Amino acid sequence: MNYLPNILFAIALVFGIGYFVRNVRKLIRNIKLGQDVDVSDNKSQRFKNMVNIALGQSKMVRRPIAGFLHVIVYVGFIIINIEVLEIIIDGLFNTHRFFSGIGDLYGVLIGSFEILAILVLVAVIVFWARRNVIKIKRFWNSEMTSWPKNDANYILYFEMVLMSLFLIMNATDASFQAMDSGNLISQYIAPWFSGMAESTLHLIERTAWWVHILGILVFLNYLYFSKHLHILLAFPNTYYASTKPKGQLDNLASVTKEVMLMMDPNADPFAVPDEDNDETLEKFGVSDVTDLNWTQLLSAYTCTECGRCTSSCPANLTGKKLSPRKIMMDTRDRLEEVGKNIDANKGEFKNDGKQLLGDYITKEELWACTTCNACVEECPVSISPLSIIMDMRRYLVMEESAAPVELNNMMTNIENNGAPWPYNQMDRLNWKDE
Amino acid sequence: MKLTVPTMAQYMAEGKQPEILFWVGSAGSYDDRAKKITKAFVKLLNAANIDFAVLGTEESCTGDAAKRAGNEFLFQMQAVTNIEILNAYEIKKIVTACPHSFNTLKNEYPSLGGNYQVFHHTQYLQQLIKEGRLKITNKSFKGKRITFHDPCYLGRANDVYEAPRELLKELGIDVVEMKRHKRTALCCGAGGAQMFKEPEKGDKDVNVLRTEDALQTNPDIIATGCPYCNTMMTDGVKFKEKEAEIEVLDIAELLAQSSNL
């Protein structure tokens, strides 16, 4: 008996999964470069959010066309993967259609896979057309050139090819067609190959089978380098996303400590800071990715660059440079850069003179935000670009005193008069008699 | 009509506690347009005989604009100062006509020691009507085309979409919704401290785009529930040279006007 195909298959499987695991480890390492944050609260609400938003796609369908097509691809992706289990068993143990022994149910399963496959194929072609023919605006913003644009199309090509291979594999499988159960779609494809010799047919079937499973392994490993990671990370991201009202911005604890000290009449202003407990070097706000908390870094990897945020951002809609999607893409790009730096320097980050603020995200973008939460509301996987924008504004103001002049005036007014305008606090009730 | 606006200090002197504190906010105290909203709301409170008080000269900016500009220090200084006063007066319930104050007091003061029940004035007015304490009988706005602009800090930030619409319904008004409304509503352009600075370079101002949204509904009145939104939309209407035909009014003003207050 010839074991060569099985050995080759096992090797491909080990390499495919092994390389993926290696990259997932790197992914986790990079995410952990973020600051710690307490996400242990509201467990049941978090779980509900994950079930509704990630599993249930509740926010996807708010835009019905894209949402409906996405649900097809999503359901297809998950269900067709049951077939991959059979492929792996067949590949390893030299069986052919291992599950076909289960009888009628097998036909029902494969039949539904075939229907899903053709639906996914159609949906993916529509997706491709929306990007490349209809040219929907949010896919053509300035950050969507080169790699981000190609990445999106590669994913669609991958899916088109994988679905086609699955159907061709079934269509050219003579014994499967002879069973005439479950070949709902492939029976219409089979006639295309009708004139061929049995050996040719078998060769096509085997080729389709091999390219299909190898394609899946390649696609799996493509994820880490692509925006497509959302198929995995949407789940943890919706779980760890904020459960607070969207308007609630966290109060920086480090600032609270200082403010309470200032307000404390018993505090000694000349006290020497406690050497053992010296946290005075703490940085206020965020200038680089490692200042962000790990859930923000997770969401940067989760972002699939759909652009719903940007297409609802008032600043972006009125021609400003700010694009919430770009905030997430920049965060991920910089994090990848930091990760590669660590890899290249034996686990230690070597200062590269760069940072997220300035080298990736400009002040002009940050100051254009109205904090309206439209981006947060829109994101189908609960990402908050706003939280990153706010953290970077904090750095600009508290570490660099680099607010626009008008804002400095506003803040001086609040400090001196308790109002953003230069009016006397004693006049605060004058309106009642005017 | 003379407004009755007691201060907390007066209540304290009499050894009494009001039912609710009206947080006027900086815009409501100093901005000429916003002061009219403040007064309209007070007229309604007076008409309903509500035992309320203001902090008056003891009130200070909540710090929202400072916080959103990135100045967490200044925000927390403001918050801690305000909380000290509010707690000294043992305030339990607060109503405000400013969604920014509403959001800050409700969401950002608790972890600094300020725990209050906070209402936006549309929520509070709706409650007064429901309890029969405020009666709206005049339906003089019936037949007018009125659209409602959702303030971000009321809507998306705190999921309050129905209270203002319910009040408009009380006035016999069928709101003509803009294409972008409720959670997809477009910002007026003032939030996140934008009110106090020039916008970044772009091809349009946000308030103009939002006013265009509103104009598509062909309204007689653009209603809103935020002093900043009011300013932005009023400016937008002027920019479009429609100020002769279209009024921008706060929900409190609509209620007060319909009751001839």
- What is the tens place of the pLDDT at every residue in A188-218? 998 898 888 888 999 999 999 999 999 999 9
Structure tokens at A69: 């097509």
Asked if residue B139 is part of any domain, the answer here is no
Q: A230: which residues sit within 8 A by CB, 6+ positions away?
A: A302, A303, A304, A381
Which residue in A393, A428, A433, A434 has the most chain B C-beta atoms within 10 A of its own C-beta, making it the best mutation to test that interface?
Answer: A428
How many domains in chain B? 2
* Chain A residues in contact with B80 (beta carbon < 8 A): 259-260, 263
* Chain A residues in contact with B204 (beta carbon < 8 A): 318-319
Q: A80: which residues sit within 8 A by CB, 6+ positions away?
A: A113, A116, A117, A120, A166
Q: A347: which residues sit within 8 A by CB, 6+ positions away?
A: none
Task: Determine the residue of chain A that is closest to B31 in CA distance.
Answer: A421
Residue in B54, B74, B189 closest to A414 by CB: B74
Residues B80 and B171 in one domain: no
Residues B125 and B204 in one domain: no
Burial level of B143, CB count in 10 A (0-12/13-18/19+)?
Answer: exposed
Residues B169 and B72 in one domain: no
Q: What is the ipTM of this complex?
A: 0.95
Closest CA to A295 of A234, A241, A216, A235: A241
Return the pLDDT at A273. Answer: 58
What CATH number is attached to the domain comprising B100? 3.40.50
- Domain positions in chain A: 4-31+63-240, 253-265+278-425
Q: A231: which residues sit within 8 A by CB, 6+ positions away?
A: A77, A223
Residues B18 and B126 in one domain: yes
Which amino acid does the sequence have at A134? I
Q: Tell me the pLDDT band of B143, cut-offs 50, 70 and 90.
A: confident
> What pairs with residue B249 in β-bridges?
B223
Q: How far apart are CA B141 and CA A312, in angstroms?
A: 32
Residue in B35, B71, B201 closest to A397 by CB: B71
A407·B77 Cβ contact <8 A: no
B184·A377 Cβ contact <8 A: yes
Asked if residue B141 is part of any domain, the answer here is no
Query: How many CB atoms sit inside 10 A of residue A264's CB?
Result: 9
Residues B100 and B178 in one domain: no
Structural domain of B98:
8-130
Asked if residue B2 is part of any domain, the answer here is no
Query: What does pLDDT average to over chain B?
Result: 95
> Distances in Å between the alpha carbon of A148 and those of A38, A42, A121, A232, A320?
32, 35, 22, 19, 21
Q: How far apart are CA A201 and CA A213, in angstroms?
A: 18
Residues B12 and B123 in one domain: yes
Domain end position, chosen among B104, B130, B156: B130
Return the pLDDT at A270. Answer: 67
B202·A431 Cβ contact <8 A: no
8 A C-beta contact, residue B172 and residue B197: no
Which residue in A62, A141, A243, A246 has the most chain B C-beta atoms within 10 A of its own C-beta, making it the best mutation to test that interface?
Answer: A246
B190·A411 Cβ contact <8 A: no
Structure tokens at A274: 């406690």
B70·A393 Cβ contact <8 A: yes
Asked if residue B3 is part of any domain, the answer here is no
Return the pLDDT at A260. Answer: 87
Return the pLDDT at A182. Answer: 86
> What pairs with residue B95 in β-bridges?
B22, B119
Instruction: Identify the three-state secondary structure at position B26.
Output: helix
A410·B70 Cβ contact <8 A: no
Instruction: Identify the three-state secondary structure at position A375.
Output: helix
Asked if residue B185 is part of any domain, the answer here is yes
Residues B165 and B57 in one domain: no
A372·B24 Cβ contact <8 A: no
Q: What is the pTM of this model?
A: 0.94
Structure tokens at A94: 């030299």
Q: Is B157 left (phi over 0), alpha (psi -120 to 50) or beta?
A: alpha
* Chain A residues in contact with B202 (beta carbon < 8 A): 315, 318-320, 368
Domain end position, chosen among B98, B130, B162: B130
Instruction: Identify the three-state secondary structure at position B248.
Output: strand
Q: Tell me the pLDDT band of A272, cut-offs 50, 70 and 90.
A: low
Residues B197 and B109 in one domain: no
Backbone torsions φ then ψ of B118, nearest 5 degrees: -115, 135
Return the pLDDT at B2. Answer: 84
Q: By mean pLDDT, which of A4-13, A229-238, B62-71 is the weakest?
A: A4-13
Residue in A411, A421, A425 closest to B57 by CB: A425
Please identify which residue in the block is written with the tokens 């060569």.
A4
A403·B69 Cβ contact <8 A: yes
User: For chain B, give me the number of helices (H) and strands (E)?
Assistant: 11, 7
Evaluate if residue B46 carries a pLDDT over 70.
yes
8 A C-beta contact, residue A30 and residue A349: no
B67·A377 Cβ contact <8 A: no
B191·A431 Cβ contact <8 A: no
Structure tokens at B195: 């009110």
DSSP 8-state secondary structure symbol assigned to residue B21: E
Domain end position, chosen among B106, B130, B154: B130
End-to-end CA distance of chain B: 8
Residues B173 and B79 in one domain: no
Q: Supply the angle between the helices A104-132 and A146-171 in degrees, to the nearest 10.
A: 150
Q: How far apart are CA B247 and CA B237, in angstroms?
A: 8
Q: How far apart are CA A424 and CA B25, in angstroms?
A: 14
Instruction: Catalogue the E-assigned strands of A336-408.
Output: none
Nearest CA-CA distance, residue B261 and chain A, Å:
15
8 A C-beta contact, residue B102 and residue B153: yes
Residues B114 and B153 in one domain: no
Q: How far apart are CA A303 and CA A379, in angstroms?
A: 9
Give residue-wise pLDDT tens across range A282-338.
Answer: 789 999 999 999 999 999 999 999 999 999 999 999 999 999 999 999 999 999 999
* Chain A residues in contact with B59 (beta carbon < 8 A): 418, 428
> What pairs with residue B224 in β-bridges?
B250
The domain A253-265+278-425: what is its CATH number?
1.10.1060
B30·A406 Cβ contact <8 A: no
Residues B189 and B110 in one domain: no
Residues B65 and B105 in one domain: yes
